[in-house]
Every structure is written in C-alpha cells, then in structure tokens.
Amino acid sequence: MSNALYNRRFSDLLQIYKHIHIIDPYLQQCLNKLSDWADTNGFKFSPSKTICIHFCKLRKPHPEPTLLLNGTPIPVVEETKFMGVIFDCKLSFILHVKHLKDKCTKALNLLRVLAHTS
C-alpha cells in the first residue's frame, strides 16, 4: 500500500471517528460482509448474543449507531463483560474494579471463617 493511500485512509478514519453518523454505513457494510463470509464458510452469528457498545469519553450524548445483523437490530449497551473484564462506554473500569473488590471480599470472608481456630 502506498504511503499516500495509507495517509488518506488514516485521515478518513479520523474523520469517521469524530462523526458517528458517518461510520454507520461502513460498520453495516462490514457486518454484511462478515455475515456473508459466515454463511459461505458454515459459521453462524447469533443476533441475540450480539451487542454494540460505543466507547467515547465525551460528556455530550451521541446518536447511537443503528446496526443490523441478519435483519435483526443489534442493541446498544452501556456496559458489557468480555473475557472477564467489564467494559463501560467511558472506559473508566470503575464497574470492573467494584466487581473485583466484591469478589475478593467474599473470598476473604470465606478464608476468615475457615481460618478461625475456635
């Protein structure tokens, strides 16, 4: 890939990043290609298990993307758990840390009961 073409594509991505309504058609096109590839190769995506999360640290609200997978709308969520890590839309990880604290507190309380000698 030529350097000029790479720079143009990178600047296009930056523009898309700034304006979520511009990226909707590109995301939908990618979802359609993934769905076609899955159908061709014997895979199946489950629309009921598929979600969308919009990561953004800006305070003002953004329009949520409207994406479809096999004709089913993909719900937009504020938080999700992926491979044991809880992600929120602001990427603050506060929910993940609270979850870890609660989990560790339960384990510590169990150890206190088991270690008690009397």
Is residue 70 within 8 A of residue 33, CB to CB? The reply is no
In a domain, 45, yes or no: yes
| 38 burial level (CB within 10 Å; 0-12, 13-18, 19+) | middle
* Total domain count, the chain: 1
Quick: pLDDT tens for 40-56: 998 888 878 888 888 77
In a domain, 33, yes or no: yes
Quick: pLDDT tens for 62-107: 777 788 888 888 888 888 888 888 888 778 888 999 999 999 999 9
In a domain, 29, yes or no: yes
CA distance 22 to 16: 6
- Can you give the pTM of this predicted structure? 0.61
Domain residue limits at 32: 3-77
In a domain, 111, yes or no: no
